[in-house]
A = this chain, B = another copy of it.
Amino acid sequence: MTIQVEPVAVVRSTRRELSDDGWDTEASFIELATHIDPVALTGLDTFSHCLVVGYFDRASEGSLIRHPRGNTTWPLVGIFAQRAKDRPNRLAVSVCAIDRIEDNRLHVRGLDFVDGTPILDIKPWMAEFGPRGDLRQPLWSKELMASYWSDTSAR
Contacts and interface: CB of A to CB of B under 8 A. Distances in A.
Interface string A55-90: 100000000110000000001111111110001110
A148 B132 CA distance: 13
5 contacts: A5-B89, A41-B81, A43-B75, A53-B91, A129-B145
A17 interface: no
Give the contact-size bracket for chain A. Answer: 35 or more
Contact of A136 (B47, B64, B83, B136): B47
A39 B89 contact: no
Copies of chain A in the complex: 2
A3 interface: yes
A4 interface: yes
Given A64-B37, A83-B126, A126-B83, A97 B133 contact: yes
B137 A47 contact: yes
Nearest to A112: B129
Given A4-B3, A64-B40, A148-B128, A120 B80 contact: no
